[in-house]
A and B are shown apart, each in its own frame.
Chain A
Amino acid sequence: MIPPPAFLFLAVLLFGLGVLAFFVKKDLLTQFMAVEIMLNAGNLAFLSLAKAFGRAEGQALVLFVITVAAAEAVVGLAIIVVVFRQRRSLRTDELKDLKG
């Protein structure tokens, strides 16, 4: 029986690594992967809290997060494909079209 705080700490660690990866990496695709890691860290936190409080709501929310993440991945990748078709590049330091 592993205490839930251990899982929660692991979740926080993963989230931090995800943030780090997002800022360290410079290609859109890997940054997108980092976002997925953060989402998963959130899931892990939900589940460990569900365990800690003995309630199933956390598990239900995880399912919703996974669904939303799947939808987000599909649309996000589609956007990335479009960006790549137009720029032949995925480097975020080269994509400056949002400049005001």
Chain B
Amino acid sequence: MAEAFWLIPLIPGAGALVLLLFGSRMPRRWVSWQSTLAVLASFVLSAAGFARLVRAGPDAPALAKTLLPWIASGSFVAEFAFSFDRLSAVMALVVTGVGLLIHVYSVGYMAGDKAYARYFAYLNLFMFFMLVLVTASDIVLMFIGWEGVGLCSYLLIGFWFDRPAAAKAGLKAFVVNRVGDAAFIVGLLFLLTAVGDPSFAAINAAPAAGLVGPGLATLAAVLLFVGATGKSAQIPLYVWLPDAMEGPTPVSALIHAATMVTAGVYMVSRLGGLFAASPAASAVVAWTGGLTAVFAATVALVQTDIKRVLAYSTISQIGYMFLGCGVGACAAGMFHLFTHAFFKSLLFLAAGSVIHALGGEQDMRRMGGLRKRLPVTFPAFLVGAMAIAGVPFLSGFFSKDAILTSAFAGGHYVLYGLGLAGAVLTAFYVFRMVFLTFYGEPRAAGAHPRVRESPPVMTVPLVILAALSALAGLAGLPVLLGGRADLFGRFLEGVVVRTAHRLAASSEVLLILAAAASALAGIYLAFVFYRGSPALPARSAARFPRLYRLLTGKYYVDEAYEAAIVRPLVRGAELVYRRFDLEVVDGALNASAAAARGAGQGLNTVQSGLLRDYALAFLLGVVIFLGALLL
């Protein structure tokens, strides 16, 4: 069965095609089953491939399959070729596993929507492109997946396109991603001209083989990483992700938390050989990640929309992943990607359940006291919150610790400090969310009299994800517990680049204690602020009004972009429109139209309408033509 791994992307792809063509005429029940079963099939195939790779041992070659030749131009050849190695296996399992749960959840969440089939068609299409992205064996095919998930993201953010905010958010996501992708393409072309072979193996081997010098490696890697900052919402191109929350909540969970936004991390891990060849590019990755982690966390502190908090939290957590990759610990970054997929989609889905129960309310200031009303959602959300905050022994604790330990061991003390600060902030804003939403008195008394728990089709995925969020960390226990403990890291040993730094056991214990302390400190602070003395948040906001305004204004980055980039562009376009389009282009068009009209009126007299005259002209033409041929 593992040989059929190339069907992993194709099954949801075929499903999407069927749904796009015939979905609107199918019964809803059929749509739900078809789309979910397609993802289930991919999941089973991924699991089979994973099992094969585990059995084959670390040195076995990846599964490979070439479907069709695609571009063959001189010596450059790109093919529709898939490969399935250990990195792909992890990604495919995460994508199909979380995707499967989210498909199930969506059956409940979208039950009342009028465009039910369109939603599942897009969701299946997204699975197709995402799986192409992670199983492509060369960078050109990966780029198809990369663009495809961007398209699906756009379609799904703007799924309720009759809401202007949603349509605008979709457009923003698309345009911002274009900026990143332009850089990505330029980097790609640099690489392809130098290497001449788009396969990942060739690109990763190129620096060592001398095909790519250090300067070019830095240039190409940084350009590719700019693409990643767009897709994975890092500074400076993160601005689209908070707005992307206009899409349906399961979409936010799947695309804008668990899978698509982590594509950049996957790409950096996949091209580990290239990034490792350029310390400068690695530093850019690490610093971007570290700064984003703290920056987004500070914004998340004051947001009031539950989904926006989660969006900034996602930006911040992906920052951690890049931080890990940048300091040469891609395995740790991938591990955080793995655990984050579970707890962040859990948080999103639980938030979706809350929103669903409150009839669309997203503002935390009008929630509160839902602990008793939502007996399944609350514990699930709490598990997710503890996991992301890094409460010891839950998954987020281990993965975040792995990244921070690697940063410390690699001598990046400032980055380590940033990460630790981010961890405190993370714990704080997540538990602020818990306290505001589930504790205290219902603040919109009477507004939501009939708050009811969501149906099982939504809560069962929550329970499964909660279990995974709690336990996934066991896949990558700290090396401290013995060399064999870090199953995850050892599984990826041969596939991703890893700079091994060994720390003394004592310092590692200290680091783990520091991580645990930072998590607990954040939670304690949140408790003090939002449970201990309810007046404290308002008082501190009043004490530091400028800081507070800066944070609620999200550092005014959107406004800055608007003023510095968007408005000059629009104004310039207007100028071009007035000066060039209206005068030059339209003028030329009108002139040529007038010329054609004149010529037509002149030639009109030739048209006698008599067949014989036309035939005569024809004969004359033949005679001239033949004469020319003979001469």
Query: A residues bordering B, Cβ < 8 Å?
Result: 19, 22-23, 28, 31, 92-93, 95-100
Tell whether B506 is near chain A: CB-to-CB under 8 Å.
no
Contacts of A98 in B (CB 8 A): 607, 609, 614
Name B612's contact: one of A19, A93, A99, A100 (CB within 8 Å): A93
Residue pair A99, B609 in contact (C-beta under 8 Å): yes
Residue pair B610, A96 in contact (C-beta under 8 Å): yes
Give the shortest distance, in Å, between B370 (CB) and chain A (any CB): 75
Give the shortest distance, in Å, between A35 (CB) and chain B (any CB): 10
Contacts of B607 in A (CB 8 A): 98-100
Tell whether B566 is near chain A: CB-to-CB under 8 Å.
no
Give the shortest distance, in Å, between A43 (CB) and chain B (any CB): 18
Residue pair A23, B612 in contact (C-beta under 8 Å): yes
Residue pair B619, A92 in contact (C-beta under 8 Å): no
Give the shortest distance, in Å, between A54 (CB) and chain B (any CB): 24
Name 12 extra pairs, CB < 8 A, besides A28-B611, A93-B610, A100-B607: A22-B615, A23-B616, A93-B612, A95-B610, A96-B608, A96-B609, A98-B607, A99-B607, A99-B608, A100-B603, A100-B604, A100-B605
Complex Cα spacing A87 to B574, Å:
57
Q: Which residue of A lies closest to B609 (CB)?
A: A99
Q: Which residue of B lies closest to A19 (CB)?
A: B619
**Per-residue interface assignment for chain B, residues 590 to 612, with 1 indicating a CB less than 8 Å from any chain A CB and 0 otherwise:** 00000000000001111111111
Q: Which residue of A lies closest to B607 (CB)?
A: A100
Q: Which residue of A lies closest to B614 (CB)?
A: A98
Contacts of B611 in A (CB 8 A): 28, 31, 92, 95
Give the shortest distance, in Å, between B401 (CB) and chain A (any CB): 77
Complex Cα spacing A95 to B534, Å:
95
- Interface of chain A: mostly helix, strand, loop or mixed: loop
Query: B residues bordering A, Cβ < 8 Å?
Result: 603-612, 614-616, 619
Contacts of A97 in B (CB 8 A): 609
Complex Cα spacing A94 to B615, Å:
16
Give the shortest distance, in Å, between B520 (CB) and chain A (any CB): 85
Contacts of A23 in B (CB 8 A): 612, 615-616, 619
Q: With a 10 A CB-CB cut-off, give which of A31, A96, A99, A100 has the most chain B CB atoms.
A: A100
Complex Cα spacing A100 to B611, Å:
13
Q: Which residue of A lies closest to B616 (CB)?
A: A23
Q: With a 10 A CB-CB cut-off, give which of B607, B610, B616 has the most chain A CB atoms.
A: B610
Q: Which 3 A-B pairs have the closest CB atoms?
A: A99-B609, A100-B607, A96-B609
Complex Cα spacing A95 to B609, Å:
7
Q: List 5 A-B contacts (CB under 8 A).
A: A19-B619, A23-B619, A92-B610, A96-B608, A100-B609
Q: Which residue of B lies closest to A35 (CB)?
A: B615
Give the shortest distance, in Å, between B338 (CB) and chain A (any CB): 64
Complex Cα spacing A84 to B606, Å:
26
Q: With a 10 A CB-CB cut-off, give which of A93, A95, A97, A98 has the most chain B CB atoms.
A: A98
Contacts of A31 in B (CB 8 A): 611
Contacts of A22 in B (CB 8 A): 615
Complex Cα spacing A95 to B613, Å:
12
Give the shortest distance, in Å, between A86 (CB) and chain B (any CB): 15
Complex Cα spacing A93 to B612, Å:
8
Contacts of B608 in A (CB 8 A): 96, 99
Q: Which residue of A lies closest to B619 (CB)?
A: A19
Residue pair A92, B612 in contact (C-beta under 8 Å): yes
Complex Cα spacing A98 to B612, Å:
12
Complex Cα spacing A27 to B612, Å:
11
Complex Cα spacing A98 to B615, Å:
13
Contacts of B619 in A (CB 8 A): 19, 23
Give the shortest distance, in Å, between B528 (CB) and chain A (any CB): 89
Complex Cα spacing A92 to B616, Å:
14
Contacts of B615 in A (CB 8 A): 22-23
Contacts of A19 in B (CB 8 A): 619
Give the shortest distance, in Å, between B608 (CB) and chain A (any CB): 6
Give the shortest distance, in Å, between B626 (CB) and chain A (any CB): 12
Complex Cα spacing A19 to B618, Å:
11
Give the shortest distance, in Å, between A33 (CB) and chain B (any CB): 14
